[in-house]
């Protein structure tokens, strides 16, 4: 139905989307829980 | 309003409401500043990893009667002497799971891993609703792109 290249691109996009979301949440939480509390 | 799901969220809202009522004669700027300080302090107590309803109630007790707080504010500079907030880390098991699943979950279990990470993030009280939505949109952006592409190729 789909060629292999298309599936590869979809999987790569999904991987990077998850990484971006995870990094975003980690940065927000790290800044909030830092002693200076700059992120809040 | 305090995030529902935090220990003592109802008690915090109720206390802030009572201070708000007692502070109606303060200038609006000082009233808002006072309410923000109190809410921030109580939410910090509530976000502590070992927070319970009892610890939030104890923090409210330490702050004292709303009328006394407002009386001490009246005519004084708007600096509230809050008790020190206990040292805390916002990183609990749920938060660590959420971040790990989002970042490396996709490499281990494609699609399911990041989805589980998003579920953990939504279950955690450590992030605001806005942050959770941003993460959800970031995490599912590619899926939306693919759906858009498929619809585009079908029609």
What pLDDT score was predicted for residue A39? 43
Cα B42 from chain centroid?
A: 11
Domain boundaries, given as residue ranges, for chain B: 9-73, 93-154
pLDDT tens digit sequence for B17-51:
888 888 888 888 888 888 888 888 888 888 887 77
How far apart are the C-alpha atoms of B83 and B69, rounded to whole Å?
A: 13
CB contact under 8 A, A26 and B121: no
Q: Show the low-confidence residues of chain A (pLDDT under 50).
A: 38-40
DSSP B128: -
Round to whole Å and give the CA distance between A40 and A36.
10
Q: Does B114 touch chain A (CB under 8 A)?
A: yes
B39 near B82, Cβ under 8 Å? no
pLDDT of residue B113: 87
A24/B114 Cβ within 8 A: no
| ipTM of the prediction | 0.75
């Amino acid at each position: 139905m789909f060629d292999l290249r298309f599936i590869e691109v979809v999987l790569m996009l999904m991987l990077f989307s998850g990484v971006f979301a995870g990094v975003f949440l980690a940065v927000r939480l790290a800044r909030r829980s830092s002693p200076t509390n700059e992120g809040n | 309003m305090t995030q529902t799901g935090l220990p003592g969220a109802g008690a915090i809202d109720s206390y802030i409401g009572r201070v708000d009522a007692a502070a109606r004669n303060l200038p609006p700027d000082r009233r808002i500043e006072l309410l923000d300080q109190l809410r921030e302090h109580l939410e910090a107590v509530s976000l502590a990893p070992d927070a319970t309803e009892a610890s939030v109630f104890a923090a409210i007790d330490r702050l004292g009667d709303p009328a006394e707080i407002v009386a001490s504010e009246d005519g004084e500079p708007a600096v509230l002497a809050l008790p020190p907030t206990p040292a805390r880390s916002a990183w609990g098991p749920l938060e660590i799971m959420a971040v790990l699943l989002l970042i490396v979950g996709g490499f281990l279990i494609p699609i399911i891993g990041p989805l589980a990470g998003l579920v953990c993030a939504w279950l955690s009280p450590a992030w605001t609703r806005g942050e959770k939505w941003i993460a959800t949109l970031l995490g599912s952006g590619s899926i939306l792109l693919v759906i858009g592409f498929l619809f585009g190729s079908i029609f």
